[in-house]
Amino acid sequence: MPENNRTRLLIARKVPAAVAKRAETEFHAFVTDADMDSQSVVEFCKQHDVPAVLIGKKSGLQAEHIAALPASVKIIANASAGVDHMDVAFAKARGIVVTNAPDALTECTADFSMLLVLAACRRASEYERIMRQGWGKSFGMTEMLGMRVNGKTLGIVGFGRIGRAVARRAQGFGMRVIYTDIQRAAPEVENGATFYSSFEDMLPHCQVLTLHVPGGGVPLMTKKEFGLLPKGAVFVNAARGGLVDEDALYEALTSGHLFGAGLDVYRNEPNVDPRFAGLDNVFLTPHMASATVETRDQMGFTALDNVAAVLDGRPALNRV
C-alpha cells in the first residue's frame, strides 16, 4: 500500500460519525463498527504496523497486551479522562505515549453531577414513577417531601477540573461549597469554597457529598466514612464505582442514615447490584455523565489531536 494511503490509526472502539469521518480522512484510519477486544487490537497492530491506536474499556491494554504490540506503535490514545483500563507505566517503559481527554468531559460531567444532586434531593425517581403509574392521588402538605438544595452544604472530594465546575454550578443554586484535596487550591480557583485538609474532618459538615477523584483499589467510602456524614445527607457518585463499598452504601440508605443517593457508576458495571434498583431513595443512571453529542465528539477529536501531534513529531497535548 502506498505510504500516503497507509493506515496510520486503528480506532478500536465505536466512535461518533464525525470522529470516524475525520479519522478516515486524516489518518486513513481503520474504524471498527463494534468495540474490539484487547487481543484483536494486538493482532491488528501486528498485521498492519499502525503507529497509533485509539482504545476503549473493552479494548483496554494491560502489560501482556502492550508487550505484544509491534515496535510500530507510538501512541495509545484514550477518548476519555480515565485510563484505568490500561497499564500506563508499562506503556511508558516501552516508549509508547499514552494520552487521554481530560478537558472534554468536564462541563457535561459537572452538569450531570448536579442532575444527580437535584434528583436525589428532590426524589425525582419516585415522582417520575408515580406519574408513569397514572398518579391518581393528590398528595398532602406532609407527603412525599424532598430535601431543599438551596442553602445546603455541598462537600466535594477532589477539586480538579470537574470538582471546580460542580462547585460553580452548586454556588448558582445557593449552596455552600466545601472541598478536600491533596492540597489547597489558589484563592481565585477556590472562588469562595472552603478547604479541608482532612477528608474525615470534612464529612460531618456535608449535607450533600459528591466524589470527583480517580478510582483506586481500596474504596474511599466505607461504613466508617458513611457514618461520619450527618444523618439525612445525600451521596452522589459520577466518578468511579470502585470508590464505594456498596454494602456500606446500601446499609446507609436502608437504615435511614442517608436521605438518598444519586449514582451513575458502580463497582460491577454493567451488572449492577440489584438491591439498589429496589430502593426508592436512589436515583440511578447507567454511566452516562458524558453522554451528549457535543462531548462525545469532543472526546474523539481530542484523541485525534493527540494522535496528530505525536505522529507529526510534536509533544502530545494530553500526555498521561
Rounded to the nearest 10 degrees, the angle between the axes of helix 17-27 and helix 293-311 is 20
The answer to whether residue 269 is catalytic is: yes
Q: Which of 128, 269, 294, 314 is catalytic?
A: 269
DSSP string, 19-82: HHHHHHHHH--EE-SSPPPHHHHHHHHHHH--SEEEE-STT---HHHHHHS-TT--EEEESSS-
The answer to whether residue 257 is catalytic is: no
Contact 31, 304 (CB under 8 A): no
d(C-alpha 303, C-alpha 97), whole Å: 12
Q: How many CB atoms lie within 10 A of CB 293?
A: 9
Q: Which of 161, 257, 287, 319 is catalytic?
A: 287
Contact 119, 125 (CB under 8 A): yes
Beta partners for residue 176, in sequence order: 153
Sheet order of strands, 194-196 included: 194-196, 176-180, 153-157, 208-211, 233-237, 258-263, 282-284
Q: Which of 13, 169, 240, 296 is catalytic?
A: 240
Alpha helices in the chain (DSSP H): 17-27, 38-48, 63-68, 88-93, 106-121, 124-132, 161-172, 187-190, 199-202, 223-228, 246-254, 293-311
Q: β-strand 233-237 against 258-263: which pairing, if any?
A: parallel
Listed in sequence order, the residues at least 6 apart from 85 whose beta carbon sits closer than 8 Å to its beta carbon are 55, 56, 57, 60, 61
Task: Enter the DSSP assignment of 221.
Answer: B
List, by residue number, the catalytic residues.
240, 269, 287
